[in-house]
Chain A
Amino acid sequence: MLNAVRRELPEYIEGYGQVKTFQGANVEQDKPVRRQVVIDKDSVDGNKVLSSLQEAMARCGLTDGMTISFHHHLRNGDHVLNMVLEEAARLGFKNLKIAASSIFPVHAPLVRHMENGVVTGLCTNYISGPVAEAVTHGLLHTPLVMHTHGGRARAIEAGDLSVDVAFLAAPSCDACGNINGVNGPAACGFLGYAIADAHYARRVVAITDNLVEYPNCPVEISQEYVDYVVPVASLGDVQGIISGTTMITRDPVGLRIAQFAAEVIAASGLLKENFSFQTGAGGISLAVAAYVREMMKKQKITGSFASGGITGYLVEMLEEGLFRAVFDVQCFDLLAVESQRRNRRHQGISASFYANPHNKGAVVNNLDVMILGATEIDKDFNVNVTTDSNGVLIGGSGGHSDTAAGAKLSIVVTKLTKVRLPIIRDAVTTITTPGETVDAVVTERGIAVNPRRGDLRQRLEQAGLLVMTIDELQEIAQAMTGKPDSLPPGRDIVAVVEYRDGTVIDVVYKV
């Protein structure tokens, strides 16, 4: 059966289940629910501190086939997922399902656990490195499930994703399980992606390398949700939390694209008092922030908020008074962690608050402008950030689909060609974000506006910007690169890409 972005999907996928097809970005499903949580607990007054992970697993009643979850605030410096799985493997557990908000190259040992049958299921919002390659090659027993950041919180709250035990890296924690992410040697900022896990998992284990006297303030995840506390020597390498690129690009082409994107923002009419803005941490995205910063200063604009993964650059904008607040679902560098520690206007938010489509109002819906990246874009403006052009998993939505759907203006910034390949395709390898939520594509050679946004196109043309159709952009790219062959049709499904509402927007095939 075909879904709303014309992808052919089976009705049932072995190891995943019945497929709910994607119907469109804003199609109401059944009334959303929050699931009931059974309070499964030991005596509440006792000391929650346990001596080992083994003891925690035993006390939580961990058995084969259960789902255990992890947050990714320590990013590529995280040792907690590896530590827990090492212990689970040693104890002979099999058939575990991992619900990790992201998987990074540091999680390479997971490949071995997949081979040995310790782990047979995996769901995540973003995946890169050896685990991503192994999944693409069909090493995981059941298909990987890809969520969006908001979709994962929704799935946990709704009970679509049921977590048996959440193992939460806790940079600072007391004996009763009050947790924060802003103190301790592995301080990584507010633990926004762990909140749904803490609230909805059957059992919650805090793993900490910084056990402090009671009470551990500020409290981000409170003791009412936490079953056990396990002290360990180290949660990981704090330098590893630094996300991809946190420096503004110096590449002239990237700067050119960023300048065009800033001109699009200016021409859109959205850059005014109470402006709100989000950008990823890529070099081009940050350069857009730099141009926006200059424009806001020049026009003396006080913005409402900046959101998302927060870098030191956005912290500087906050401190200059360009925004009244930042909404931080995750710190992308240590300057952001430091800011969150001391500045009350640097507000930590949960993944649900950030992006859950089914709650009573997510921050992404308040966004004026979102700057997005892309690996490929098709002529319907569908975006792929999940796989590369060979079909290998290299990422995933994270907040891509959520912010595209929520923001008034979502702009994809990308070079028109990358490593000899044109970015604009007849069909993208994998659809991550539906084109109906993408308003404009900005490249170094021109700007394409989604035909749904005739109003925007008119504004950009009036401002004298280099507007063209997406077909024209594709022609320019192909004049340089030629037309790439399309991948042979896939057979075995290795990953199911869920849209933020839990419907299936695409699948990834074995390579």
Chain B
Amino acid sequence: MEGCRRSMLFMPGNNPGMLQSAGVFSADSIIFDLEDGVSLQEKDSARLLLRNALQTFDYGGTEVVVRVNNLTGSPYGLADVEVIAPAGVAAIMLPKATEKEIILLDKMLAEIETKTERTTGSTKIFPLIETAYGLMHLKRIISSSIRIAGVLLGAEDLTADLGIKRTRDGEEIFMARCQVAIACRAAGIDAIDTPFADVQDQEGLIKDTQKAKALGLTGKAAINPRQIGLIHEVFAPSPEEVLYAREVITAMQEAEKEGKGVFSLHNKMIDAPIISRAQAVLAKARQYGWKEGENHA
């Protein structure tokens, strides 16, 4: 369902304290990082530490994703998958993903799932779209495995690849956001926005998240637990949206009783897309703990 992953929190894979506590921040997903967050001399120890943590700790309702190193461009990626996937993760996040690498990862995961007696296809894949190539081949990348549960847009690497400046306002990634949103919506998977880098700037985070939401992205990555609450607030349906959705559904039920196919609300014609949007809003509101008849306005 859309919006299951409002927030995906990056955590370094080599910090024992954080490995233990990662589940307490109410993030929808945590992404334990073995790539950029871990220095070269710690790659192997972080991999083993993370595997042991995954086998030891209960992260409760928080989905666990691991960002491995690139499979072909780095000497660590294949070993990461071989060690981490058998320990049990919901998904593997693949940096600078290409179709070839996804097909390779899919095959590796299938073998590991067979060996560890897991359901085939149960380990999902999150391609990280952070190159011009990735953006241009988005559709093909998404179609290269049925395991793909969503896409994360990585704006820092993408803007570096494009040779352009990354700004607080983020106008430079407008088109990339649109492309990711459209491609993911078309495929029925999650579209996760790039993290907001300045953890002190709460107002900036809210604006940036609102922008992503407005363009159709379904969630946002976070690099600090303090960002989680604000991201969830932005992705929560507004009281006005919920109120309107309830009116639409009530009007629809009345129209059905009266046998009317088409009906209007506040002098506007209500048709199928509006109804399905209203149903989606209410579903999301329930997910946020709204109770029937409750008014948060």
The B-contacting residues of A in range 468-499, CB under 8 angstroms, are: 479-480
Contacts of B56 in A (CB 8 A): 480
Q: Cβ of B20 and Cβ of A252 under 8 Å apart?
A: no
The A-contacting residues of B in range 1-32, CB under 8 angstroms, are: 17-18, 20-21, 24-25
A50 on the B face (CB < 8 A): no
What residue of chain A has the Cβ atom nearest to residue B56's Cβ?
A480
What residue of chain A has the Cβ atom nearest to residue B20's Cβ?
A480
Q: Cβ of A255 and Cβ of B24 under 8 Å apart?
A: no
Contacts of A445 in B (CB 8 A): 24
Listed residue (A253, A255, A417, A480) with the most chain B CB atoms within 10 angstroms of its CB: A253
B201 CB, min distance to chain A CBs, angstroms: 15
B103 CB, min distance to chain A CBs, angstroms: 37
The A-contacting residues of B in range 28-70, CB under 8 angstroms, are: 56-58
A140 CB, min distance to chain B CBs, angstroms: 37
A159 CB, min distance to chain B CBs, angstroms: 50
Q: Cβ of B21 and Cβ of A252 under 8 Å apart?
A: yes
Q: Cβ of A253 and Cβ of B17 under 8 Å apart?
A: yes
The docked-state distance in angstroms from the alpha carbon of A444 to that of B224 is 16
A409 CB, min distance to chain B CBs, angstroms: 23
A256 on the B face (CB < 8 A): yes
What residue of chain A has the Cβ atom nearest to residue B17's Cβ?
A253
B216 on the A face (CB < 8 A): no
> Given contacts A252-B224, A255-B226, A256-B225, are A444 and B289 in contact (CB under 8 A)?
no
Q: Cβ of A252 and Cβ of B57 under 8 Å apart?
A: no
The B-contacting residues of A in range 245-286, CB under 8 angstroms, are: 252-253, 255-256
What residue of chain B has the Cβ atom nearest to residue A259's Cβ?
B229
B273 CB, min distance to chain A CBs, angstroms: 33
Contacts of B25 in A (CB 8 A): 252, 256
Q: Cβ of B226 and Cβ of A252 under 8 Å apart?
A: yes
Contacts of A444 in B (CB 8 A): 21, 24
Q: Cβ of A479 and Cβ of B225 under 8 Å apart?
A: no
The docked-state distance in angstroms from the alpha carbon of A417 to that of B17 is 10
A141 CB, min distance to chain B CBs, angstroms: 42
The docked-state distance in angstroms from the alpha carbon of A37 to that of B21 is 56
The docked-state distance in angstroms from the alpha carbon of A256 to that of B225 is 9
A472 CB, min distance to chain B CBs, angstroms: 13
> 18 A-B residue contacts at CB 8 Å?
A252-B18, A252-B21, A252-B224, A252-B225, A252-B226, A253-B17, A255-B225, A256-B25, A256-B225, A417-B20, A444-B21, A444-B24, A445-B24, A464-B289, A479-B58, A480-B20, A480-B56, A480-B57
Q: Please name 14 further chain A to chain B contacts, defined as beta carbons within 8 Å, in addition to the given A253-B17, A444-B24, A480-B20, sorted by A numbering.
A: A252-B18, A252-B21, A252-B25, A252-B224, A252-B225, A252-B226, A253-B21, A255-B225, A444-B21, A445-B24, A464-B289, A479-B58, A480-B56, A480-B57
Residues of chain B whose beta carbon lies under 8 Å from any beta carbon of chain A: 17-18, 20-21, 24-25, 56-58, 224-226, 289
